[in-house]
Structure 1
């Protein structure tokens, strides 16, 4: 029976993904049917990935932990606006309408063949991103040294990817894959500014995550809404005492206000903002780290979960 169920689930997933790539997927009714066909596979992925991460299945009917509540939300909290949140191009219109376009980066080009971006007048530094996934970006520090052909090969692989499959994150399923080139955001010293990730629960920013040295010795600190350091680690280790001491940003209150205005319709939403002397919008995230981040001490998973209840 178990083997039959696994085969049936795999068959439904294959059928669903085939239909998703077909022409009928442009129709709303067909998309609902495809979502229904893929739902058993989504449930299995939620349970199996959580079990691999935590050595137990999530309590989806009566979740207590934050990570469990995010898994449940993946399956049961699916709204059309969530697709907009996840689409790094479409979300710009949402941000402009909610808080104003002054918080957005400048976009120089949008398309599917990055080589066409050369036709635009680009600055020396910029960032290439895909709109439909996470972690797909190229930071260009000198346009004259940029290998456009290599970037084309890489970005075409990005466009073929389906970020909704691995962790059952439905909000990525119906995004039309595109590429875009945006400005390189720098602080007063010409380097990438610190980004502040506001964990908003029912429209209130309760937690702020700050990452340091992401490409070398990655550390992460968590603060409360008044920017007081909390005794908890999430996925990455906390900085050693006295290292990476971060002062409360001068524009922190404005950043927090922007985050809460953007998140005011959701039980949970993480809002990422850069401190570039003023708040600069980064992205919106419904399920940070696919809802699989480990807390240390583990009790904080339940503490975060209470904020979402």
Structure 2
């Protein structure tokens, strides 16, 4: 059996054990475009959350994110999720000083002039989640692997994977950003602020992205106390120091989230300076379970859904 056939057969066997993999495989390749958004989300919700999706009277955080996907489809949301176009919104709203320096923007991978780039940089697709290449040593960068990964991302419409409407009309491009690292010198912590109708209610920090054990996420209340729940990813078991710019992060997050039922605003802190990360309207696409489940309902109670006209 050829290597290609072995890979296909292995994926098939995994799909039988985990129907989510089959659904994701088909969705990523556009085979489920014919399925209406509501039916698709109901199917995905049963597979991922293991319960029926209540769209008539949504109560939980995950349910309300699905409702927002279907019913709160503002045109400006497309700008918010576009990693290049959102920079204009940030500059006009809170100021360009919070933007990570950009080194280039490209319509395709072959436009990238690697000789003109510094030794360290980050390549990101503007239209999806996960289209990322971090280069810490240009001399060791496998350009073919980077090209294959980003070209694969550029060829797909991310909207069809989780039916997040804002991604439907984002122009696929690649941006190159300055490589950033915090005081750890090995990692860059994400400070992610959960904003409910323009008010920060809690935040979480992503740690250990590149560790052998994988990503950890710790939720904090407004007083920087660890909150007693997990959402898909395990806690780190540690408590980090509150960022120097914590209060400023909250202030800016509430400016950026004004009049939005729910949005997550991300920041980084490098050498005492604050940088904007991204806006995320549907964290985990509303398909990540809470432990204990009561916190799914608690965070859901913080979202006031808009009244449909």
TM-score range, shorter chain: 0.7 to 0.9
CA distance in 2, matches of 1:52, 1:308: 24
Residue pairs, 1:162-241, within 5 angstroms = 162-216=157-211, 217=213, 218-240=215-237
Match status 1:304 vs 2:302: no
Pair 222,93 (structure 1): closer, same or farther in 2 beyond 3 Å: same
Match of 2:277 in 1: 282
Deviation at 1:214, TM superposition (A): 2.0
Deviation at 1:153, TM superposition (A): 2.6
CA deviations on 1:152-181 (whole Å, 9 max, x unpaired) are 232211110111002111110001100111
Gaps of 5+ in 2: 1-26, 305-309
CA deviations on 1:215-263 (whole Å, 9 max, x unpaired) are 33222111112212111111112233xxx32011111111111111111
Match status 1:272 vs 2:283: no
Partner of residue 38 from structure 2, selected from 38, 43, 53:
43
Contact 1:45 1:166 in 2 (8 A): no
Partner of residue 82 from structure 2, selected from 80, 84, 87:
87
Match of 1:294 in 2: 289
Contact 1:109 1:120 in 2 (8 A): no
Compute the TM-score of the two structures, normalised by the length of structure 1.
Answer: 0.83
Note the aligned Cα RMSD (angstroms).
Answer: 1.9
CA distance in 2, matches of 1:155, 1:214: 20
Contact 1:108 1:120 in 2 (8 A): no
Match status 1:154 vs 2:149: yes
Match of 1:116 in 2: 111
Aligned pair count reads 272
Deviation at 1:119, TM superposition (A): 6.1
Compute the TM-score of the two structures, normalised by the length of structure 2.
Answer: 0.83
Gaps of 5+ in 1: 1-13, 19-37
Contact 2:131 2:149 in 1 (8 A): no
CA distance in 2, matches of 1:288, 1:188: 26
Pair 202,153 (structure 1): closer, same or farther in 2 beyond 3 Å: same
Give the secondary structure class of the aligned counterpart of 2:73: coil
CA distance in 2, matches of 1:195, 1:303: 23
Give the secondary structure class of the aligned counterpart of 2:243: coil
